[in-house]
Amino acid sequence: MRAILITLLITLGISCAHAQTMNKLIQTREFESRLAKEAQTIQSIESDFTQVKYLDILDEKVTSKGKFYYQKSGKICMEYAQPVNYLIVINDSRLKIVADGKKSTMSLSANKMMNQMQDMLTACMIGDLSKMSSDYKLEYFENARQYMVKIKPVNKAIQAYISGIEIYLDKKDMSVCKLCLSETAANYTEYEFYNKSFNTLKDETRFSIR
């Protein structure tokens, strides 16, 4: 189980060392209200994504590309197409990872840490912060075009895997446009989401876990 958790975290990212200049948001009520309202209208998301991984043991950054899919509630699929094929599926309380043609599946409900990971990933990928527990400290920032939510785990067990998260949301539609996940200041991953479509997903078979 620990090995699968580490694999998931490494793949999804390991707060971002190069955060954009933003002003701290003191009054958060309007932001939280708008975010919750927009999240209620989202039934599904389809998006292209680019992942850039920075590791201090490598001289070059590692870039991957693929497709991201989300369906309410709790269904996430990330299909990596470049440079290698890789698949991550979360469907309610089940997780599937397919790498090098080998499939691993496990239950999320049997492990508190994995349950928290599911809530955190949902928050990160679609901007739904409603399930974030007291194990995380949240701060809010903004500039002319974006909001940024900085998430720092205060639970030591979570800190062992992740040091910080930054979620960037487009002010036009409150969708996630950029995500930064860090293990350390030198080891972190950036995601950019583009070509987004909302509430158009028809094929549910991509979320199948068998």
- Does the pLDDT at position 126 exceed 70? no
Q: Which residue has the higher pLDDT, 94 or 117?
A: 94
- Residue 27 makes CB contacts below 8 A (sequence gap 6+) with none
Q: Which CATH number fits domain 12-195: 2.50.20.10, 3.40.30.10, 3.40.50.1980, 3.30.2310.20?
A: 2.50.20.10
Q: Which residue has the higher pLDDT, 160 or 102?
A: 102
Q: What is the pLDDT of residues 172-197, one digit of tens each?
A: 888 888 988 887 666 788 889 999 99
Characterise 152 by phi-psi region: left (phi > 0), alpha (psi -120 to 50), beta (else).
Answer: beta
User: What's the confidence (pLDDT) of residue 30?
Assistant: 87
Give the span between the Cα atoms of 170 and 17, in whole angstroms: 20
Residues of the chain with pLDDT > 90, as a percent, come to: 21
- Does the pLDDT at position 67 exceed 90? yes
Q: Give helix 2-12 / helix 112-126 axis angle, nearest 10°.
A: 10
